[in-house]
């Protein structure tokens, strides 16, 4: 897990990590904008197959919101498109709007400068060509959106806990509009992806094989089933098993580990009362 520096794309980080770790098999679980910093979870070797279980994890961000200035990208990287006199906006006004309109389940229109695809084209590619297309609003959930004043006039400090797929710069722009003007985001920093936090993150230039976490951490948020003996062998062979034998409740997915805590497979509910592997993790 890397603390991504500003000015690097997530792809840049993956490319650099391949050299630092001595393997081509590196991926990441969720893109960060080039100007953003913070937690970027990497999958290395066999762990790359588990990255799909991380994409739906909630995220936590810290950022600054600049009131009174709108930009083409909704953040500080874009060109200014409009300015507003918002000197009269008090922190209490911002907190009221956040509580009433921008917390809980909301609908959010993705920004044009994003990696989402419309008719096979990424939105940011269209935006660079000066093309703007209709985007459907998507449901996201804002679990926490705290704002506080800073020493800089017109700048708010924000902390956001949100569901996967949330654009914090869209939140900033929506807040500005709801306050009667406009706003953009700056200094975005992702401090957590699920249970992965900055406390575990390594500076990119310091990354090395010694910093790799156990593979089981990638699915640590899933219910864990512990197996041993013949059952562990059957799991390792990818057999369909009775849920009762696994001790599995619900529909899964479940992380199946052996007596040593080594991840052997990820299982999912199957027909009747059985479970089948979505993937088996080689132990060698």
Q: Which of 3, 12, 33, 258 is catalytic?
A: 33
The pair of structure tokens assigned to 210 is 């010694």
Catalytic annotation present for 242: no
CA distance 66 to 186: 7
Active-site positions read: 33
């Amino acid at each position: 897990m890397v603390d991504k520096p500003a000015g690097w794309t997530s792809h840049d980080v993956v490319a650099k990590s391949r050299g630092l770790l001595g393997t081509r098999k590196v991926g990441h679980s969720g893109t960060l904008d080039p100007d953003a910093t913070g937690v970027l979870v990497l999958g290395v070797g066999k762990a790359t197959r588990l990255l799909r279980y991380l994409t739906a994890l909630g995220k936590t961000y810290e950022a600054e919101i600049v009131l009174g200035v709108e930009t083409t990208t909704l953040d500080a990287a874009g060109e200014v498109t409009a300015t507003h006199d918002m000197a009269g906006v008090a922190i209490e006004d911002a907190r009221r709007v956040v509580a009433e309109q921008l917390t809980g389940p909301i609908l959010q229109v993705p920004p044009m400068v994003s990696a989402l695809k419309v008719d096979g084209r990424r939105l940011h590619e269209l935006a660079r060509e000066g093309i703007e297309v209709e985007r459907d609003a998507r449901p996201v959930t804002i679990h926490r959106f705290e704002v506080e004043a800073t020493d800089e006039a017109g700048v708010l400090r924000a902390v956001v806990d949100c569901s996967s797929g949330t654009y914090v710069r869209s939140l900033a722009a929506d807040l500005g509009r709801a306050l009667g003007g406009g706003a953009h985001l700056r200094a975005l920093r992702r401090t957590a992806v699920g249970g992965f936090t900055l406390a575990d993150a390594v500076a990119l230039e310091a990354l090395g094989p010694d910093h790799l976490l156990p593979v089981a951490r990638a699915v640590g948020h899933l219910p864990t089933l512990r197996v041993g003996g013949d059952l562990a062998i059957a799991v390792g062979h990818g057999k369909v098993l009775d849920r009762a034998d696994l001790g599995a409740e619900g529909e899964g997915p479940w992380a199946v580990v052996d007596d040593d805590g080594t991840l052997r497979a990820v299982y999912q509910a199957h027909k009747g009362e059985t479970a089948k592997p979505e993937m088996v993790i080689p132990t060698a």
